[in-house]
Structure 1
Amino acid sequence: MAKITYIEHNGTEHVVDVAKGLTVMEGARDNGIPGIDADCGGACACSTCHAYIHPDWVGKLPAKEAMEEDMLDFAYATDPARSRLTCQIKVTDDLDGLIVQMPEKQI
């Protein structure tokens, strides 16, 4: 398990345990956390699981693959350094303490 902090755009924090092997998006969905819509269910086809990674964690995540880069073009108010699609981030023990912040809205 990894403890992940999800921060809504309004500042509300949700700290939840997410099982290893799930994605950060699945952790939000399974715990009813608002702000990550995940319309495509995690297929990297919609960009509605967009979130900003806390600066302390950006360099600790695997690099974005080309498909994720392409889908981020459709996300709302992306930050080239911090934006990720949470469906593309697999939870491992190394992500214990990860902090993600949701954008104002999902497109």
Structure 2
Amino acid sequence: MSSTRRDARAEGSSLITGNQAVGIDHRIRGGLSLGATVTRTRTWRDAAVGFFTVVQKDARAILTLRALHSRLKLMGFPPVLEIAQERQESTIPLQRYETDRAAITLTRRF
């Protein structure tokens, strides 16, 4: 959980951000690890920006799922499969979106 305040000379660039995240990781005997994280972020600007006549307020939600097997190795590193879904609502229609993403990364666990 976090909260951030950014002050700027231009009121439209000043904002407050609140972030909440909760996650779980579970290791299964044999080397399989599964994880999930849910993140919720809200942002409020102090004033309207540019030619938009409304103050921008955003609400973003992200669900991330991860899986790795420590016995699988690529160049000595276990690959991690990550799948995420992200959605943002905003008072400014151009800032609204939904996206799905998938990634395979390499990691080193200690």
TM-score range, shorter chain: under 0.3
TM-score, normalised by the number of residues in structure 1: 0.20
Question: Where is the strand percentage greater, Structure 1 or Structure 2?
Answer: 2
TM-score, normalised by the number of residues in structure 2: 0.20
Between 1 and 2, higher relative CO (CA 8 Å, sep ≥ 6) is seen in: 1
